[in-house]
Structure 1
Amino acid sequence: MSDDGAEIAGIIESELEQPVSAAVVAAAEEIRRRHGEAVQACLFYGSCLRDGRDEGRVLDFYALADSYRAFHDSRVMAFLNRLVPPNVYYLEMPFQGRTVRAKYAVISMAALARDSSPAALVPTIWARMAQPCALPYARNGEVRARVRDALVQAVRTTVSQTLPLLPPRFSASELWTRAFRESYRTEFRAERVGRSEVLHGAAVERYARLSAGALGAEARQVSQAAASDAAARAGEGPSFDHAADPGRRRTAERRWYWRRQAGRCLHVLRLIKNAHTFTDGLDYVLWKIETHSGIRTEPTAWQRRHPLLAAPGLAWRLYRKGAFR
């Protein structure tokens, strides 16, 4: 991997500085009001950022904290945030005659840096942070720089952990769709087929530039004349050659296998925990699953009162119906 991350850093920096809607700014301010000086930054990401529409939808944030104990009033919640990160909270607030809805996942600045690297047990952070993000709030320039550096590392990690799985010649589209597909497989994702292609298709030029910057000496960009016409017509971005090694591929496949085992266990634990951390959490989780999979199930009154006890049975029922892939 090239030591020169200037190209990636420039892309990330411009994305962090992009303007966001007044509703997004208001939601970030509400997160700060709730948790005070413990909030170092609010990172905005997800579908509302990608398509620029937020009305009637749920905004997605990461709230980056000094420490979990400083962020949470409860020692128990701080412990759970450290044990099975992240804690996820939901907020609703009136804003300019409508209701703004948001959820925010809480991680520490140290966890952001650690989990953006290949040392992370699962790709939850680095695969998400390699996607576009905006930064409606950062405490100061030092915090902004730390966030930027973590996101640059997330891009480089995503590329380096995916590259050994690819054929000798591959396109930027193949690189990123494979990366997203593999990361989804480490969770019980309620995602429609083709989701990885949608993520890449939303910012083809971005991912092409990131590919060239992150691959460095590990792959050679192929001239347009040498690339296949089919790839060019499909809008897959530039093509690259690399020295595909069967041994490295087998090692990478084993790593991804163990990431899937660990990631799915952690995902179930997060679902169970997060269903209990915000008001109407169980209904929100079931609504989110329905929007992605089309599978609907209605919890009973008892299940709403006892979401932690009900979560395993509901998860099994949804799995049997095909909600998780």
Structure 2
Amino acid sequence: MTPVQDLIAAGLSAPVDPRVTAMAAALAAQYGAASRTVLFYGSCLRTAELDGLMLDFYLIVSDYGAAYGKSWLATANRLVPPNVFPFEYKGLVAKYAVLSEADFRSLCGPDASTVSVWARFAQPSRLVWAADHAARSHAAEAIALAPTTLLALTPAQADSDPLDRWRRGFTLTYGAELRAERGGRPESIVDFDPEHYRRLGALIPDAQAPGLDRKWRALRRNGKWLTLVRLAKASLTFAGGIDYLAWKINRHAGTQIAIRPWQRRFPILGALTLLPRLLARGAVR
């Protein structure tokens, strides 16, 4: 393994609340032999607060056919990855995204058409369940691509603080998706564990990808549209998805969005009618 992979693997194996581990095992059990790894990430990992919040997992599977059988869900996951579902276990609630091992590795790398996976796994995460040693190694190798991708796609400047490049990179990724979080969120991600980013940055070669302006224009275009497509797809897989969307926007943007009954009945149309108002008010960007 490379030094970056070693550091990533060490972070992945750091302990978490036992309730998270138990929840991950229960989630993996739902997909049987197709389950390869379960990854825990996001704000609940950073703050270690679980109760009353929604945990974030990625379930990595061997392939979509094995995960779903002959189902439209396999096709949807293959065409517009990932699929997102809700999950509850012993008083905790979560959402989890499903990716195949091949797609996960691809979406952590610099050729990915959106930032959605590598932007999240450039941040610390935990491997909270694995089918075997090979699955664990595959996950670590894929995740090690993510921070390397972020720095390669972040324009270099004469920074006095090496953390500034990480902050700039996360700011770019937030601008490449429709996000409800306030402007300071990318900086707070780095400031939560600055030593991690210092150690990681020192191990990653300083190689900047060519054509960054063109690349980021494409990432922003793809990211905004894919956010809407994934929202529409999630309305078919995620019961109460529009209520979760409202809750997250209210929490991060300080708004008071109330979902009407007809919007729950027609969640795709409801979400699309909300979007222009949210954009106009700056609640999502």
- TM-score norm. by structure 2 comes to 0.94
TM-score in terms of structure 1 length: 0.83
Measured after TM superposition, the shift of residue 214 of structure 1 is 0.5
Q: Which residue of 2 aligns with 1:61?
A: 57
Q: Report the equivalent of 1:113.
A: 105
How far apart in 1 are the matches of 2:277 and 2:26?
36
Task: Report if aligned partners of 2:29, 2:35 keep a CA contact under 8 Å in 1.
Answer: no
Q: Among the aligned pairs, what percent are the same residue? A: 36
Q: 1:74, CA displacement in angstroms?
A: 6.1
| Contact preservation (8 Å) 2:119, 2:170 | yes
1:102 aligns with 2:102: no
Find the aligned partners of 1:23 and 1:288 in 2 and give their Cα distance: 23
Q: Which residue of 2 aligns with 1:201?
A: 191
Given the alignment, which residue of 30, 33, 52 partners 2:29? 33
Deviation at 1:169, TM superposition (A): 4.0
Q: Quick one: distance in 2 between partners of 1:51 and 1:301?
A: 34
Q: Which aligned pairs between 1:301-312 and structure 2 lie closer than 5 A?
A: 301-312=261-272
* Conserved? CA contact 1:7–1:210, under 8 Å: no
1:283 aligns with 2:243: yes
* Counterpart-to-counterpart distance in 1, 2:6 and 2:176: 30
Query: Offset at 1:73?
Result: 5.2
Equivalent residue for 1:260, pick from 220, 223, 247: 220
Alpha-carbon distance in structure 1 between the residues aligned to 2:2 and 2:193:
19
Once residues 291 and 82 of structure 1 are traced to their aligned partners in structure 2, the CA distance between those partners, rounded to angstroms, is 31
After superposing the two structures, state which structure 1 stretch, 52-61 or 70-79, moved more.
Answer: 70-79
Corresponding residue SS for 2:31: helix
Among 154, 170, 176, the residue aligned to 1:180: 170
Q: Which runs of 5+ in 2 are unaligned?
A: none
How far 1:183 moved relative to its partner? 0.6
Find the aligned partners of 1:71 and 1:139 in 2 and give their Cα distance.
14
* 3-state SS of paired residue (1:40): strand
- Measured after TM superposition, the shift of residue 299 of structure 1 is 2.0
- 1:19 matched to 2:11? The reply is no
Question: How many residue pairs end up in the alignment?
Answer: 285
Contact conserved, 1:81 with 1:87, CA < 8 A, in 2? yes
1:88 aligns with 2:84: yes
Residue identity opposite 1:112 in structure 2: F
- Matched residues in 2 for 1:274 and 1:21: separation? 28
Return the letter of the residue paired with 2:197. Answer: Y
Aligned partner (choices 275, 281, 284) of residue 321 of structure 1: 281
User: 3-state SS of the aligned residue for 2:177?
Assistant: coil
Contact 1:116 1:150 in 2 (8 A): yes
